[in-house]
Copies of this chain bind each other. A is one copy, B any other.
Amino acid sequence: MDESNAILLLSCPDRKGLVARLSNFIFQNNGNIVAADQYTSKRGEYFFMRMEWELNGFALSREEIPVVFAPLARQYDMKWTLHFTDYRPRMVIFVSRHLHCLHDLILRRHMGELNADIEAVISNHTDAKDLVEQFGIQFFHFPVTAENKRRQEERQLALLREMKVDLVVLARYMQIFTGDFIEHYVNRMINIHHSFLPAFSGSNPYQQAYDRGVKIIGATAHYTTEQLDDGPIISQDVVKISHRDTMTDIQTKSKDLERIVLARALRLHLEHKIIVYGAKTVVFE
């Protein structure tokens, strides 16, 4: 007996009868819907849906589902992806020298909280090496200079391909990828930025926040696009600060925040609850 569920994520121009067509597709194949979320944008007249149903008892096999669904999807001009809950996505984490987010993810994996496999950790430094290997995870060191940047990216890309990586996590990785690299992982590459975007994009947001005298700081997890710090936002959160907070205090508070926000974004992605729409996301929480 198959205890897994299928998850369909789709978006298309809104039309009458869409929900009826989609729920009939499941019902007529004897499926039992366990969760369904939908949203119609008020402006663009665009429709978004996430449907999750039990594979147990469903009339179509995993292979047949996309084949049978495709004509319906075409008719409504849908963008769609299909997922199965028993598949463990394969992820790689990039990190530089600030290791708090990496540590957090490693511990979540250790506690069984992370619904994905960490295939490897890649860094332009070696600070993370010992801890990563101590937890039985492969570590790759790719030092990056202005000269070798392109070449290193190609080697990293080859490695990711070889590992059949589904998801790239930038857990405070201080290098900017080229558009060529990013296009291989569109909507599959999550970055944590240590500010409440769009405030304080670019480098050293802690310092920027300190200098501006804001009373609240934030962190933002987003999909990476070629436009730095401008990708679709998945999750944000904030914490209060005061004039008493030094740069070190701001950093300490922010690090806790970054860990939480990145972990939350990751969970939403791994549970297939995010649909990217233009520069924005629809998140079915």
Q: Residues on A close to B: CB < 8 A?
A: 16-20, 23-24, 26-28, 30-42, 99-100, 103-104, 107, 110-111, 113, 131, 134, 196-200, 211-216, 218, 232-238, 240, 242-244, 246, 252, 256, 260, 263, 279-283, 285
Please measure, in the bound complex, the distance between the C-alpha atom of A39 and the C-alpha atom of B258, giving whole angstroms. 28
Please measure, in the bound complex, the distance between the C-alpha atom of A230 and the C-alpha atom of B280, giving whole angstroms. 28
Please measure, in the bound complex, the distance between the C-alpha atom of A235 and the C-alpha atom of B215, giving whole angstroms. 6
A111: min CB distance to chain B, Å = 6
A99 touches B113 (CB 8 A): no
Given contacts A216-B218, A279-B213, contact A19 B36 (CB under 8 A): yes
Contacts of A107 in B (CB 8 A): 100, 103-104, 107
CB contact between A212 and one of B17, B198, B215, B244 (< 8 Å): that residue: B198
CB contact between A233 and one of B20, B35, B215, B252 (< 8 Å): that residue: B215
B196 touches A283 (CB 8 A): no
Contacts of A216 in B (CB 8 A): 196, 218, 236-238
Q: Which residue of B lies closest to A40 (CB)?
A: B34
Give the interface SS of chain A, mostly helix, strand, loop or mixed.
mixed
A70: min CB distance to chain B, Å = 20
A232 touches B213 (CB 8 A): yes
CB contact between A252 and one of B110, B113, B211 (< 8 Å): that residue: B113
Please measure, in the bound complex, the distance between the C-alpha atom of A107 and the C-alpha atom of B101, giving whole angstroms. 11
Contacts of A235 in B (CB 8 A): 215
B213 touches A281 (CB 8 A): yes
Contacts of A282 in B (CB 8 A): 243
Please measure, in the bound complex, the distance between the C-alpha atom of A263 and the C-alpha atom of B259, giving whole angstroms. 14
A99: min CB distance to chain B, Å = 7
Please measure, in the bound complex, the distance between the C-alpha atom of A39 and the C-alpha atom of B246, giving whole angstroms. 12
Contacts of A32 in B (CB 8 A): 16
B34 touches A23 (CB 8 A): no
Contacts of A199 in B (CB 8 A): 196-199
- 13 further A-B pairs in the complex, CB-CB below 8 A; given A19-B23, A198-B214: A19-B36, A20-B28, A24-B24, A100-B107, A100-B111, A103-B107, A198-B199, A212-B280, A213-B233, A213-B280, A215-B234, A216-B236, A243-B281
